[in-house]
């Protein structure tokens, strides 16, 4: 079968404008897009993989394209835009089955009607797809709900040998967080909740880093603390909170000063707004690193010395330093992170940008999986592994 026999005219494009648009994602990288297709069914995805094998073509999988590390940048590939596979298939008592192009906020709007919700809500939830979230194994804003991997019950995936696999959580792990290099996820069964964890919030302000870190140490020993969200002075100022450092502490008991649900929700909205303001101020190069708590003060001092705006999820040790688009500082920061025995990956993907920093043992595991699921190297060429 040829490509135009698999897809009708309105769901396949060789148009130069489409090829230009799909040559990029939210990162600074640009690749070569050969064509764009918009599958609507798992069967079309299956035929597409068969086609790619026969024609020796490459496929780059795309959800909403918010990957800021180059995960959706094609390498002379056909871009597979999953956004039209966006239906809810079934809602059960404590699960939902969705197509992988479903946008997470749309899913939650539908689940709200039956008094349920899916708790992994990343910053870009208005557009992020379940497939992209699964492939990057992302966290949500409410980090204490864990990662995507904790909520997956089953997936349907087409691998690079054109096998359609229905996988339970353990075998599905090969496709979770591996950034689309093993196969195209078509359908996902997710756990859902009826009630959110009830929480209260307290906000603290600090003028010195030392005093702020003393408070963090104290909070870390409090078993009621769900998350400790840090804003440096720069980010606090952007949010019009004043010029001090802030800790926004989420607690699972009644001890937080803010108890009103709407007020608590507005804090989440504020976190979403922050990164858009940072992008507008040209601090668009957001990194995410994981720093051991004992090295946190050294790392935060380095960021402040170099005037790098940052915010962090301190309970997890994940820091998001935000660089100017034209800055050379990120490379210097990578060295600092290594010296402090931190990790260059907090919770965002490695994509193209950070793949050289993947530890050797992980690279070897990925190579084994790639040989098993995609020996012809069809998917996401250049992403994660070479």
Longest Cα separation, the chain: 67
Number of neighbouring beta carbons within 10 Å of residue 369: 16
Are the C-beta atoms of residues 185 and 131 closer than 8 Å to each other? yes
Are the C-beta atoms of residues 57 and 37 closer than 8 Å to each other? no
Q: Kind and range of the H or E element at 89?
A: strand 88-91
Among 184, 336, 337, 350, binds ligand FAD (CB under 6 A): 184
- The stretch among 120-128, 218-226, 290-298, 370-378 that binds ligand FAD (CB under 6 A) is 120-128
Angle 119-350-355 from CA coordinates, rounded to 5°: 165
For ligand FAD, the nearest residue by Cβ is 132
- The stretch among 126-134, 194-202, 244-252, 327-335 that binds ligand FAD (CB under 6 A) is 126-134
Among 13, 47, 66, 174, binds ligand FAD (CB under 6 A): 66
Establish if 289 lies at the interface with ligand FAD (CB under 6 A). no
| Separation between Cα atoms, residue 187 and residue 60, nearest integer Å | 18
Cα dist. 375→186, 352, 371, 386 in Å?
Answer: 20, 20, 4, 12
DSSP string, 354-371: TGGGS-HHHHHHHHHHHH
Cα dist. 203→226, 227, 251, 258, 323 in Å?
Answer: 14, 12, 11, 8, 26
| Separation between Cα atoms, residue 152 and residue 170, nearest integer Å | 10
Among 36, 96, 98, 133, binds ligand FAD (CB under 6 A): 133
| Separation between Cα atoms, residue 187 and residue 172, nearest integer Å | 12
Establish if 381 lies at the interface with ligand FAD (CB under 6 A). no
Establish if 227 lies at the interface with ligand FAD (CB under 6 A). no
Among 74, 122, 317, 342, binds ligand FAD (CB under 6 A): 122
- The stretch among 88-96, 110-118, 131-139, 202-210 that binds ligand FAD (CB under 6 A) is 131-139
Establish if 347 lies at the interface with ligand FAD (CB under 6 A). yes
- The stretch among 31-39, 59-67, 293-301, 306-314 that binds ligand FAD (CB under 6 A) is 59-67
Among 47, 200, 275, 310, binds ligand FAD (CB under 6 A): 275
- Give the nearer residue to ligand FAD in terms of CB position, either 206 or 351: 351
64: buried, middle or exposed (CB in 10 Å: 19+, 13-18, 0-12)? buried
Are the C-beta atoms of residues 329 and 382 closer than 8 Å to each other? no
How many C-alpha atoms does 26 have within 13 Å on its Cβ side?
Answer: 18
Cα dist. 323→30, 157, 283, 284 in Å?
Answer: 20, 37, 5, 7
- Give the nearer residue to ligand FAD in terms of CB position, either 101 or 342: 101
- The stretch among 36-44, 134-142, 233-241, 322-330 that binds ligand FAD (CB under 6 A) is 134-142
Establish if 131 lies at the interface with ligand FAD (CB under 6 A). yes
Establish if 342 lies at the interface with ligand FAD (CB under 6 A). no
Establish if 129 lies at the interface with ligand FAD (CB under 6 A). yes
Closest approach of ligand FAD to the CB of residue 168, in Å: 17
Establish if 162 lies at the interface with ligand FAD (CB under 6 A). no
Establish if 64 lies at the interface with ligand FAD (CB under 6 A). yes
Establish if 25 lies at the interface with ligand FAD (CB under 6 A). yes
DSSP string, 240-254: TS-SSEEEEEEESST
Establish if 136 lies at the interface with ligand FAD (CB under 6 A). yes
- Give the nearer residue to ligand FAD in terms of CB position, either 68 or 236: 68
Closest approach of ligand FAD to the CB of residue 115, in Å: 25
- Give the nearer residue to ligand FAD in terms of CB position, either 206 or 313: 313
**What would the two tokens of residue 214 be?**
């003393």
Establish if 33 lies at the interface with ligand FAD (CB under 6 A). no
Residues contributing to the site for ligand FAD (CB under 6 A) = 25-26, 61-68, 71-72, 82, 100, 122-124, 128-129, 131-133, 135-136, 138-139, 179-180, 184-185, 275, 347-349, 380, 383
């Amino acid at each position: 079968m040829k490509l135009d026999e698999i897809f009708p005219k309105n769901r396949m494009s060789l148009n130069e404008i489409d090829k230009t648009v799909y040559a990029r994602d939210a990162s600074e990288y640009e690749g070569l897009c050969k064509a764009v297709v918009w599958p609507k069914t798992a069967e079309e995805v299956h035929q597409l993989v068969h086609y790619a094998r026969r024609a020796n073509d490459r496929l780059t999988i795309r959800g909403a394209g918010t990957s800021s590390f180059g995960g959706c940048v094609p390498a002379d590939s056909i871009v597979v835009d999953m956004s039209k596979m966006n239906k809810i298939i079934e809602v059960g008592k404590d699960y939902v089955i969705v197509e992988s192009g479903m946008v997470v906020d749309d899913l939650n709007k539908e689940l709200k009607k039956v008094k349920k919700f899916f708790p992994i809500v990343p910053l870009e939830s208005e557009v992020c797809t379940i497939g992209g979230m699964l492939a990057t194994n992302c966290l949500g804003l409410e980090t204490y709900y864990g990662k995507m991997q904790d909520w997956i019950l089953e997936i349907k995936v087409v691998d690079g040998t054109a096998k359609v696999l229905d996988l339970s959580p353990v075998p599905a792990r090969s496709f979770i967080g591996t950034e689309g290099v093993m196969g195209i996820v078509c359908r996902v069964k997710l756990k859902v909740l009826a009630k959110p964890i009830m929480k209260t919030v307290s906000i603290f302000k600090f003028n010195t880093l030392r005093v702020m870190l003393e408070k963090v140490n104290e909070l870390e020993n409090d078993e009621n603390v769900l998350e400790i969200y840090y804003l440096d002075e720069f980010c606090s100022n952007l949010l019009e909170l004043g010029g001090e450092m802030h800790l926004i502490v989420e607690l699972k008991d009644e001890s937080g000063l803010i108890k009103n649900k709407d007020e608590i929700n507005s804090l989440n909205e504020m976190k979403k707004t922050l990164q858009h303001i940072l992008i507008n101020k040209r601090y668009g190069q957001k990194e995410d690193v994981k720093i051991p708590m004992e090295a946190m003060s050294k790392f935060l001092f380095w960021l402040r010395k170099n005037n790098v705006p940052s915010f962090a999820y301190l309970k997890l040790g994940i820091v998001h330093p935000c660089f100017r688009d034209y800055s050379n500082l990120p490379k210097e920061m990578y060295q600092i992170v290594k010296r402090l025995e931190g990790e260059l990956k907090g919770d965002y993907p490695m994509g193209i940008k950070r793949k050289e920093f993947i530890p050797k043992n992980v690279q070897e595991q990925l190579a084994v999986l790639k040989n098993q699921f995609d020996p012809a190297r069809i998917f996401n060429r250049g992403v994660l592994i070479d």
